Amino acid sequence: MNMNTQPKKQTAYSREIYRRALWTSFTKLDPRWMVRNPVMFVVEVGSVLTTALWIQALLGEGEAPTGFIGAIALWLWFTVLFANFSEAVAEGRGKAQAESLRKARQDTPAKKVGKLQVEKLEGSNVEHEIVSSTSLRKDDLYVVETGDILPADGEIVAGIASVDESAVTGESAPVVREAGGDRSAVTGGTRLLSDWLIVRVSADPGQGFLDRMIGMVEGAKRQKTPNEVALNILLAGFTIVFLVVCVTLLPYSLYSVQATGKGLPITITVLIALLVCLIPTTIGGLLSAIGIAGMDRMIQRNVIAMSGRAVEAAGDVDVLLLDKTGTITLGNRQAVEFLPVGGVSAQELAEAAQLASLADETPEGRSVVVLAKEKFGLRGTPLSSPHIRQNPAEYGGTEGGGMHFVPFTAQTRMSGVDFDGVSIRKGAPDTMLGLLQSSGNPIPPDLKPTVDNIARMGGTPLVVTRNQQALGVIHLKDIVKGGIKERFAQLRKMGIKTVMITGDNPLTAAAIAAEAGVDDFLAQATPEAKLKLIREHQAGGRLVAMTGDGTNDAPALAQADVAVAMNTGTQPAREAANMVDLDSNPTKLIEIVEIGKQLLMTRGALTTFSLANDVSKYFAIIPAAFASTYPQLQALNFMRLATPESAILSAVIFNALIIIALIPLALRGVSYRAVDAAHLLRDNLLLYGVGGLIAPFLGIKLIDMLLVALHWA
């Protein structure tokens, strides 16, 4: 399954999907299925009645010409089939995805491990029994070794290994999974490429991640969203109203013929045609396809929505909570400047910073070495080089002594190196200031202003010392992603508030927020602070979306209206979320909101078009139905349709064809534009409202001319 963050080449229009959709269109004619869609169920009942009237006409007892009744019946069946076809094509995409996922889900042998044996684990040499993967239950333990297929979803309790997740994500590059941290979740059906793992099963058979994915993309477990349910109720209401209107027209017609003494009463066939044309069949036939296609667009971008409600909620989101690192910024801070203090030269600071960073394998540490090389031509001299050991005075030290690396820890918040009596340190400002104060050495007066200035600019300052003497500050900068500010501006136009979440101090957070163009920020964020912020926004009537990957994100993800978990994240995070991003790209949240907006825009546009259609059909059918009794109604026939039969048949044919014509738009969605609700409503009314009024006049007239030319009317 080739999935990526960009929309894939559409396969929904393949011959196989069309073939399946055509067959499914007929199987969906089952009344037990059709009754779920009140509008199309009424059309199906009308099709059955007109078919019965056609058979009656064949027997010589027809209320109207046999050909006319037969043509109406045929096109009413087409209307139902086209509506079923639109839904079946949308479902076909999901079923194709489900087939790919089923290949990944297989019944494999599992090496079940006793619960007490994990404590005695020595490498992968742990006793196990071979069982079927289907026999594994939640909280069971199993071991996997190089080349094994992981039999079930779970959380790693021991080991570190490389895993091939291409069966799920489509990404061929292996990923590292290990016990503890935010990358401890594994998915059944993936393959272990190296080493070994002990895994605790997190889901019973049939409830795993792949199983849920298959159920959602296949549409078997799709539930109608609240907006979809509300729209169905509205459409059902319209249908009932027009049904009552059409039923009352028959006695009215009989009375009119009797009172005027001319004309013929309206026939059951014409009444059924009138009813079908007046009820909102267009949106009724496409509504389900629009919802399914919305979920499919998520799948195309490697996002699995666990419910249609989540996709729809994404379109109504008011607030986006976005992590700074990896979402707004590139993720790796880079050294951009050496700022000496206390009369120290910039080169002297750069030399000390480079030495302190030679053993630092973090991106930040490597960037310090690169900056020293670019600005001062300094090379990464090994600390054991004869030059350093023979000339320690150049570095403030004495001969003898040896080397000692000081790694960075979360407790000390500093790193460095000791050699030949020289002690070089670099670390967080508060830690380094404490070190200077404890040593009794004076603090240069320009040190704190330099640190504060870097923080105000959105950077991260690192103070460098040598033998407890401050040399200066390294300016680390978070690089804001290109184009992210413009995207936030677009979201603002749509009334969406963006909030940056970061563990940085408020000064740094404020500077980054200003550079990125977000509306607000939460600095020094804790799980409790995130949860509190979400609840505050929700209490104000706003819908909140966020991403997360760690166990500490699970409470906030569970609280958010749209919660996107990273596939690389922990099992609790994935279970708390209602969407999973297979690419583990935090920026994807913006795309998810755009897809949700597009879903709502598509549904609104086609609903507007469908209701506008009905207005135009009055002018085709009403004059044709009553002109024989009330000739004055011919004034409404400004399209100059050939005959009453031709007018009615043309309206019915157009009503059917417009559904099939709009299927590509329903599946693709209307073009997404970052505009506010007022502009969107105006544009919808102009394009789909006015367009919906005009299109039937043109379409019905052309069909009428064609029927006359073919002598079918």
Q: CA nearest 569: which of 168, 175, 153, 182? A: 182
C-beta of residue 102 within 8 angstroms of C-beta of residue 96 = no
The CA-based angle 9-10-11, given to 5 degrees, is 115
Find the catalytic residue in 323, 549, 553, 704. Answer: 323
Spatial distance between the Cα atoms of 352 and 397, rounded to a whole number of angstroms: 12
Spatial distance between the Cα atoms of 362 and 588, rounded to a whole number of angstroms: 26
Look at the block and give the residue holding tokens 């319209």: 238
Residue 340 backbone dihedrals phi, psi, to 5 degrees = -70, 155
C-beta of residue 511 within 8 angstroms of C-beta of residue 455 = yes
Contacting residues for 477 by C-beta, under 8 A, at least 6 apart:
333, 334, 335, 336, 457, 458, 459, 460
Tell me the CA distances in angstroms from 681 to 350, 575, 678, one per residue in order. Answer: 59, 37, 5
Our answer to whether residue 583 is catalytic in this structure is: no
Spatial distance between the Cα atoms of 383 and 358, rounded to a whole number of angstroms: 8
Spatial distance between the Cα atoms of 410 and 287, rounded to a whole number of angstroms: 54
Compute how many other C-beta atoms are within 10 angstroms of the C-beta atom of residue 400: 9
C-beta of residue 522 within 8 angstroms of C-beta of residue 533 = yes
C-beta of residue 639 within 8 angstroms of C-beta of residue 697 = yes
> Both tokens of residue 599?
């879903």
Spatial distance between the Cα atoms of 570 and 154, rounded to a whole number of angstroms: 9
Q: CA nearest 595: which of 323, 308, 328? A: 308
C-beta of residue 25 within 8 angstroms of C-beta of residue 266 = no
Compute how many other C-beta atoms are within 10 angstroms of the C-beta atom of residue 119: 7
Q: What share of the chain is helix, strand, coil (3-state, %, to 5)?
A: 55, 15, 30
Q: Would you name the residues annotated as active-site residues?
A: 323
